[in-house]
């Protein structure tokens, strides 16, 4: 199932005891409508973890249920306050949402005092296969990853960074964006960023999470989008309440159209 949420409303996506997260709200809704009886029996799994403040338009989770897909989406949207569920498909029991073909992140930042040419050059530097140990929060895993593309576009006074890769390390996107913004504002040089990619120990900071959106997770699956009346009411109310997140809600509405 595909879902969307405004990350500013949650502590993060991953379950944490006593805290409101995307997973906890989703699991509570599934239990309340009778779609699952327990997490273990349902084999509930999320595709991508998002930190506090990070939003999503196309995160994915999987679970086992006997519910009809149309009634399931309608009931879920009625039972869950701040998560929007909009597409569903059936998968084999062996399916793991963690094993995606590609993840697509989008970061929005102001063009004020930004040198667009330098921003683009810095973004290109990250493309390809690198050791990103200087641009992540290490967790014991290998820090070598392949970035398929890192593209910058301009929309009025906003710069849009679209970053695509099969998998990302914790805080990798926000740390890369911090470096890009520092280069674009003239505070550091591209050579300094390149030296960290080559192994030099230095941190350029972590960009704010509120400007980051997980746009989609691609598993090569064909999803059925179901714009139920309960989802329509949620989106309409959300559009009126959060004008500051125009990019987020406009993108969601375009996806549902």
**Can you give the CATH number for the domain in which 35 is found?**
3.30.70.580
pLDDT at 240: 64
Say if CB 183 and CB 118 are below 8 A apart. yes
pLDDT at 157: 85
Domain count, the chain: 2
Indicate if 77 and 116 belong to the same structural domain: no
Instruction: Give the max Cα distance, the chain.
Output: 56
- Per-position DSSP letters for 59-96, written without gaps between them: EEEE----S-HHHHHHHHHHH-SSEEEEEE----TT--
| CATH code, 157 | 3.30.70.660
Indicate if 75 and 163 belong to the same structural domain: no
Among 181, 11, 12, CA closest to 110 = 181
Indicate if 127 and 184 belong to the same structural domain: yes
Indicate if 205 and 109 belong to the same structural domain: yes
Indicate if 16 and 79 belong to the same structural domain: yes
The domain in which residue 201 lies consists of 102-212
Q: What positions carry a catalytic annotation?
A: 51
Indicate if 92 and 107 belong to the same structural domain: no
Indicate if 207 and 225 belong to the same structural domain: no
Q: What is the pLDDT of residues 8-30, one digit of tens each?
A: 899 999 988 889 999 999 999 99
The neighbouring-strand residues paired with 2 are 60, 87
Indicate if 142 and 202 belong to the same structural domain: yes
pLDDT at 233: 85
pLDDT at 249: 73
Tens-level pLDDT at each residue, the chain (257 residues): 999 999 989 999 998 888 999 999 999 999 999 999 888 879 999 999 999 999 999 999 999 999 988 889 999 999 998 999 999 999 999 999 999 999 999 999 999 999 999 999 999 999 999 999 999 988 889 999 999 999 999 987 889 999 999 999 999 999 999 999 999 999 999 999 999 999 999 999 999 999 999 999 999 999 999 888 888 888 877 766 666 677 777 777 788 76
Indicate if 202 and 225 belong to the same structural domain: no
Indicate if 129 and 145 belong to the same structural domain: yes
Indicate if 152 and 190 belong to the same structural domain: yes
Say if CB 224 and CB 87 are below 8 A apart. yes
Q: H or E element: which one contains 108? A: strand 102-110
Q: Which two tokens stand for residue 237?
A: 């109310």
Indicate if 107 and 204 belong to the same structural domain: yes
Please identify which residue in the block is written with the tokens 């009809």: 68
* 213: Cα separation from own chain's centroid: 5
């Amino acid at each position: 199932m595909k879902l969307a949420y405004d990350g500013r409303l949650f502590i993060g996506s991953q379950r944490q005891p006593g805290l409101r997260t995307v997973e906890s709200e989703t699991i509570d809704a599934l239990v309340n409508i009778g779609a699952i009886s327990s997490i273990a029996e349902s084999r509930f799994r999320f595709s991508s973890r998002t930190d506090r403040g990070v939003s999503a338009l196309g995160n994915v989770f999987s679970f086992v249920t006997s519910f009809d897909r149309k009634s399931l989406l309608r009931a879920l949207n009625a039972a869950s306050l701040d998560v929007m569920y909009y597409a569903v498909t059936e998968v084999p029991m062996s399916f793991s949402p963690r094993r995606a073909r590609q993840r697509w992140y989008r970061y929005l930042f102001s063009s004020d005092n930004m040198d667009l040419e330098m921003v683009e050059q810095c973004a290109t530097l990250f493309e390809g296969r690198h050791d990103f140990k200087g641009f992540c929060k290490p967790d014991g895993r290998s820090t070598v990853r392949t970035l398929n593309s890192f593209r910058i576009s301009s929309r009025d006074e906003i710069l849009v960074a679209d970053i695509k890769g099969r998998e990302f390390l914790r805080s990798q996107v926000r740390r890369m964006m911090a470096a890009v913004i520092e280069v674009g504002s003239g505070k550091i040089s591209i050579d300094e960023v390149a030296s960290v990619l080559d192994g030099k120990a230095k941190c350029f900071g972590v960009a704010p999470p509120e400007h980051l959106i997980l746009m989609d997770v691609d598993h090569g699956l064909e999803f059925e989008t179901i714009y139920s009346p309960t989802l329509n009411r949620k989106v309409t109310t959300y559009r009126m309440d959060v004008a500051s997140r125009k990019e987020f809600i406009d993108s969601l509405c375009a996806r549902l159209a």
